[in-house]
Amino acid sequence: MEEKLWKDHCGLLNTNEENELEMLGYKTQGWRRVLCIAGYILSCGALLLLFYWKPEWDVWANCIRCSLEEADVVLLRTTDEFQRYTRKKVTWIDLSTLALPVGSNSRGPLVGDKDSVINRALMKPQLKMRCIQVQKIRYVWDCSVKEFKKVGSLEDNNTCQSIHHKFGAGLTREEQKIRQLVCGPNAIEVEITPVWKLLFKEILDPFYVFQAFTLTLWLSQGYIEYSVAIIILSVASVGLTVYDLRQQSMKLHDLVEEHNKVQVTVCTKSEGYKELESRYLVPGDLFLLDGKKLTLPCDAVLVDGSCIVDEGMLTGESIPVTKTPLPLTESPMPWKTHSMEDCRRHVLFCGTEVIQTKPTGSRPVRAVVLQTGFNTAKGDLVRSILYPKPVNLKLYRDVLKFIIGLCLIGVFGLIYTVCVYVSHKKPVADMVPMALLLLTAAVPPAIPAALTTATIYAQRRLKKKKVFCMSPQRINICGQINLVCFDKTGTLTEDGLDLWGIIPSEGSRFQKIHKFPSSTPLPWGPLCGAMATCHSLVVLDKKIQGDPLDLKMFEGTHWEVEDSSTAQDGAGALNICIVRPGPKASSTPVEGIAILHQFPFSSGLQRMSVVSQKIGEEHYDLYMKGAPETVSSFCRQDTVPDNFLKELKMYTSQGFRVIALAHKVLNLGKDVDVSKLEREEAESELAFLGLLVMENRLKQETKPVLRELAAARIRSVMVTGDNLQTAVTVARNAGMIHTGSRVILVEANEPEGSAPASITWRLAEDSKANTAAPHEVCANTEEKITLEGETCNYHFAMNGKTYQVIIKHCYSLLPKILMNATVFARMSPGQKSSLIEEFQKLDYYVGMCGDGANDCGALKMAHAGISLSEQEASVASPFTSQIPNIQCVPELIREGRAALVASFGVVKYLTLYSLTQFVGTALLFWQLQIFGNYQYLLQDIVITLLVCLTMSLTEAYPKLAPYRPPGQLVSPPLLLSVILNVCFTIIMQTCGFLLVKQQPWYIPLASQRHCSLENQTMPPTIPGENGTSSSAQSMVLSYEDTTLWPLSSINCIIVAFVFSKGKPFRKPIYTNHLFSVVLVLQLATCLFLFFADIDAVYSGMQLLCTPVIWRVYILLMLLVNFCVSLVTEDVILQNKHLWLLIKAWIGYQSKSRYRKWQKTLQRDPNWPPLNVKDFAAKSTDEIYINPTYEYSDED
């Protein structure tokens, strides 16, 4: 029973998606609500503030647990490591006000699509449905399966036929109104957040609330100057933050607003076509694409005609893409499954621009609305900006631990103060403010501002280097990066491809190569026909546009594209593309070729085909181009040369990009609609035509950057959609794979019949022509390949198919392979994201650098994604470089390391400053005394505030060190640094405090002692003033205070210098001119005030005159402290070799999973396997299985 109650109480939202959430149902209870309201009033709003910080406590206090079906409040919890809670109120959608279709009150469906969630969510006879809205997406309660389901999309289980049948004629007017009410408007609305909301959200941060309490206490104690300074700084900080957030909100609003009001022509049953504003579109609507340029206001599936769109907003590449209609087939499979990875070719995405439409026969180009509003591709992009993935940076968690630790010290100080004042029998009115003062003294109020300045300075330096940052918090993470994945084309290599040559094939033999550029044009033949027609080029604004590869290939023929023309065939008028030989082309017997139909390229299929017809002839031709291995599999084997693989390897091993071409004559007859051709039927029994060889040069910055990363012990991995052999060669040429290192090709095959999945391991140098047959185990398999620390002399290389098989059937092998995998070829966008995630599971800090084309998912998944594209898609990437090469990667890592070290330095400094002040104040409290206001003011503003603002200005060191800075604040070197320096401070201040009492000139109450006889004594106490002025002076003026103040003040300057570590992550301290000048001026000011012997200065600072020799002793104590502190910090705590020896001596084992795997593989005599074939079922017993591959943040 209890188990059933719990099952009904909780559920999952967005199951198995990136934004998966756990749902818990609650019902508001009246008496609990009344008690909470009373609590709000009695606590003066403190309880309300606590519930604002902790929404789960609010729900637990106001509500009782119940099933999700009965709940009026839902508590959402993220299923990641952050476990963040959100409270959502369940609302009702009332459909009873609408003029509903006949029969809606009975058992009949409310909307025509029987499978729609709207029918299952409706409660009859009330005609209401329950809903919640989470991160701009609406969910309704599905009564049949008892869970919340997303609305705003067509159901995924629709088949190709059902989409045509249900929505091919449009929706009824009544159904449109129902869907509009349930799904909401088709608009990506980003409200410009009001300033007051942003302001409240900022000032209600726990630290600002604590700061407000501290400032109230200080103001009540008359510590006005520093309090006002902190208030001004906080107001400036909050003001700047609110201004930035407001500007971002306005930019995002402007970016999406213009696309919310597009006029579209919608087809409604019985009413026909009608102009409508796009915000009224609903899933299932049928709308017209009339040939005008249009920015799509929704995601839609094309059902009639074809069109050309610019998907630059999504992919980052402004290359026209051809979209084809969804086939009208009777397959029972859902339409996405039927089209497999190629379903995108039928989908028009929101935000992309329709450039050109091509009707099929007399029917116009039409599309069915698939998704609206924030459910669309563009909506998803905007949501990723509005609700970014939380940054799991140890620094901020460790800072919180530090603050909690300091609060505990403050509580100890409070207890100590109470004990001292009680023992002196002082009134409670005196004791309480002093106790609270010591409590707040332990926690420095400037920590958040100081951490922000370190990041802002790094962001500003990156901006000067043309690297722009969307998520400043991630800059610190960049300091931890130890593995970078690179896309190949456009990232490591030049964007453009140059046509190098073509190798024709005739009679199953390769012919003499035709090189480009050439004085003689390419002779006419099927090969020339393939190059002239097998592309997706279009003429836009009298300019040929399209994929750079297609463009180079077409230019090599010297043919020309004629603008869209109309030819007549049995199906009626058809919008087609015609190519004709140009003046420089070779003589040809044909007037031109009409490209009638296109089977577009997709990264999943790795090929494209066109159906064409020579002008004046009856028969049709099919031309195919694509990956050589793919194209050859569609050809008749008698047309493929025997040395095909050898020839292919010869060119790919030299780094060339190789494309294969094939041809087939189609005998279709006269009255055939070529757009109805089945792709599988048409693309069979082709004749192999030859290989197109293209040159893809490395960018000149690639090699030096990869060399620099390797020297810094940062792994480089290539993730590309190109051929495996080409990728391996480019990796060798770029220096990813060093000379002398071996490449082990990993090939995996799906299970066949009773045979399990198999993995073949072979050296790339020994690959035979027939890749299907694994090598026999030969003599050199006993040759040992060993790991050398983090580097190795072997590298694994594999393609996307192998990666997928390993993930599916041999997952426990994956970590071992990833430890030394360097090249991943033929990877789809989804596989790229998956690979990044798998590296992260091994505790690598992963950077991803790509040109944005197919890398958006991977860029978002990585700890630091760097896009080299300026397209709209790059807004989802945390970093964007305006300089299109990989130089930005080491720059970002350098700045990340500098920012991380600066942040640690600032936190350490502020901790030391607060504890130095705490110790000094605690010692004075022993005799019921305190530092003077101006003494505090000099320490707080003149020293600490200026140090915090200038300390982080030190620039990054130009050379990357071969190790990373510490990744966490709570680590032995950093903790020891703070603890030892606190100990030195305590010893020094305690010695000063005790030694001054031993001096012959010391008197306990020295309030009338001055340096010259002219000084007047303090005025007598006036009874009417309750002795306030006099007692304030007696609480400050003492030899102990005069001794402790310079010790604590100058010690703050000493630790600022000691903690400003330069090399290896930052430039030396003297290069930070402003900080150096500030330290010198601060030291000079302190020494002047201490040695001035000017009564006005002493009186103002509330100091007493002491013998010069005592002042010299104080300086000597400070000098000793400086030397000890500097030696401890630089010689011991920052000594990398010493720590390595200590780790080895105590047998320290790294918690990082990749370190553990390195050690495991070093001890494994059978790793790596060479020239053998393993089977999944057999190998699972032999390999190291780690079933709990959850992401961990342990280092």
Could you give the residue numbers annotated as active site? Answer: 487
DSSP string, 800-821: HHHHHHHHHH-GGGHHHHHTTE
User: Could you give the CA distance from residue 1148 to residue 1134 in angstroms, rounded to a whole number?
Assistant: 18
Q: Which amino acid is at 66?
A: C
User: Could you give the CA distance from residue 162 to residue 1104 in angstroms, rounded to a whole number?
Assistant: 93
DSSP 361: T
Work out whether strand 572-581 and strand 593-602 pair parallel, antiparallel, or are unpaired. antiparallel
**Which value, to the nearest 10 degrees, does the dihedral of the CA atoms of residues 1086, 1091, 1094, 1099 take?**
50
Beta bridge partners of 749: 758
User: Could you give the CA distance from residue 927 to residue 424 in angstroms, rounded to a whole number?
Assistant: 9
CB 897 within 8 A of CB 956: yes
CB 1149 within 8 A of CB 1079: no
User: Could you give the CA distance from residue 999 to residue 1178 in angstroms, rounded to a whole number?
Assistant: 84
Nearest by Cα to 701 from 890, 469, 485 = 890
Q: Name residue, tokens 């795997």.
A: 1157
DSSP string, 818-842: HTTEEEEES--HHHHHHHHHHHHHT
* Burial class of residue 110 in the structure, from the number of CB atoms within 10 Å of its CB (0-12 exposed, 13-18 middle, 19+ buried): buried
If phi > 0 it is left, if psi is from -120 to 50 it is alpha, else beta; for residue 531 that is alpha
Rounded to 5 degrees, φ, ψ at 323 are -110, 135
User: Could you give the CA distance from residue 729 to residue 171 in angstroms, rounded to a whole number?
Assistant: 55
User: Could you give the CA distance from residue 1127 to residue 1125 in angstroms, rounded to a whole number?
Assistant: 6
List for the chain the helix, strand, coil content (%; round to 5): 45, 20, 35
User: Could you give the CA distance from residue 858 to residue 833 in angstroms, rounded to a whole number?
Assistant: 4
User: Could you give the CA distance from residue 129 to residue 517 in angstroms, rounded to a whole number?
Assistant: 68
User: Could you give the CA distance from residue 277 to residue 256 in angstroms, rounded to a whole number?
Assistant: 15
Work out whether strand 263-268 and strand 272-277 pair parallel, antiparallel, or are unpaired. antiparallel
User: Could you give the CA distance from residue 1079 to residue 1083 in angstroms, rounded to a whole number?
Assistant: 6
CB 900 within 8 A of CB 476: yes
